[in-house]
């Protein structure tokens, strides 16, 4: 499996993976990444300054991804780990750790001091990975991501 930055032609595949994960977990669709108006244009979104999105490609097929951008309506020192989702065949292989490491290295290069993320309580595997990577729980959200259904907030000092 190959980790690389997103290309325009990856948009439909990664959007489908993200939607499929929400369907698989019977997760809320409103107030989450599922309902983001940008979901079908991630390549374009992550062309913004201080933004990057990595995809995992396996034999020409996208099987997951994750990205990083400035925290919406947050202080300049804060970035956000965003839209990290994997198809079943890409789980449990250490790819999430690699995506996070790539994103955090990019965040440091961009001068961010903190990395924030939001998730759902029942995404236990993801939460365990975030904890292992040094993220700590917060009592309230930061910024204004619009993800009102995500009620687990975490942060890591870079």
What's the topology of domain 2-157?
A: Aminopeptidase (3.40.630)
Cβ neighbours, 10 Å, residue 28:
15
Considering just the CA atoms, what is the radius of gyration of the chain in Å?
Answer: 14
pLDDT at 9 (0 to 100)? 98
> Which pTM value belongs to this model?
0.92
Q: What is the pLDDT along the chain (158 residues), one digit of tens a residue?
A: 999 999 999 999 999 999 999 888 887 676 767 667 788 999 999 999 999 999 999 999 999 999 999 998 777 899 999 999 999 999 999 999 999 999 999 999 999 999 999 998 888 889 999 999 999 999 998 877 766 567 889 999 99
Domain-wise residue ranges, the chain: 2-157
Q: Write down the pLDDT at residue 93.
A: 95
What is the distance between the alpha carbons of residues 86 and 155, in angstroms, rounded to a whole number?
A: 21
Q: Is 138 exposed, middle or buried (0-12, 13-18, 19+ CB in 10 A)?
A: middle
């Amino acid at each position: 499996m190959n980790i690389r930055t997103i290309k325009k032609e990856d948009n439909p595949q990664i959007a489908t993976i993200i939607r499929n994960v929400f369907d698989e977990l019977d997760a809320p669709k409103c107030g989450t990444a599922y309902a983001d108006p940008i979901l079908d244009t991630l390549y374009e979104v992550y062309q913004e300054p201080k933004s990057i999105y990595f995809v995992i490609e396996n034999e020409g097929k996208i099987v997951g991804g994750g990205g990083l951008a400035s925290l919406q309506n947050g202080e300049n020192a804060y970035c956000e780990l965003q839209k990290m989702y994997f198809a079943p065949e890409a789980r449990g292989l250490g790819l999430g750790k690699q995506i996070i490491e790539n994103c955090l290295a990019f965040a440091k290069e961009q001068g961010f001091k903190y990395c924030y993320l939001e998730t759902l309580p029942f995404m236990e595997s993801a939460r365990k990975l975030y904890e292992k990577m040094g993220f700590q729980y917060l009592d309230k959200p930061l910024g204004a991501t619009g993800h009102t259904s995500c009620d687990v907030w975490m942060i890591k000092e870079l």
